[in-house]
Amino acid sequence: MAENAHQKAQSIEAKDHQSYMKFALSLATQSPPKPTNYRVGAVVVQVATNEILATGYTLELPGNTHAEQCCFEKLAERYGVPASRLGEVLPEEVALYTTVEPCSQRLSGNLPCVERILAIGDKIKTVYVGVQEPDKFVSGNSGRQKLKDAGIAFVHITGLEKDILEVATAGHEKST
C-alpha cells in the first residue's frame, strides 16, 4: 500500500500544494499513535523537477524521530553525507511539506526540526505547513519566526486542519 501511495504521489502536479499536504497526511497515518508525540508526515520536493526526494513520518526511523528529521536522515543516506552537510549536496531549491509546524524545541534533547532546516542553508526556500504546532508539549513554537528570519517562506496550506489534528493527536487523551 505504501508503494502505491508513493507512486500516486509521483503524479502530483507541480505547485499542487493541497495534494502534497494530503500525501504528507497519508504518511502521518503510518506513525504509531502515542500520547507523547504528534503523528506528523513530511515530504521534501525538488522544486525545479517536481521530484519527491524524501518522505518521512514521526517515529519512522529508530529513536524519537520526527517526520522532518526522518526526511533529512534519508536524504543524508541517499547522498552519502552527514545530515549536517545536506546543504552542500541538495538541489538548488527544495520545498518541505509538513503536516504540523516544525518544532523549535525538543523536550527529548534532540535537535529541533527548525534547527535542522536552518542547518541545510539556503536550499529549502519554502516550508508548507498544514497546522501550527498545538501548545500541548511546547507552548509558543517560535519555528515560524525563525524560518522567516532566515528568509525561508512559511506557507500555511488551509483546508486540512481538522484531518491533520485528528491524525496528529491519535493516541492522546481526549479533553472533555
Residue among 60, 68, 73, 133 flagged as catalytic: 68
Q: 108: buried, middle or exposed (CB in 10 Å: 19+, 13-18, 0-12)?
A: exposed
Angstrom distances, CA of residue 24 to CA of 8, 44, 81: 12, 10, 25
Annotated active-site residue 92? The verdict is no
Residue 123: name the closest of 85, 102, 95, 155 by CA: 95
Catalytic residues: 68
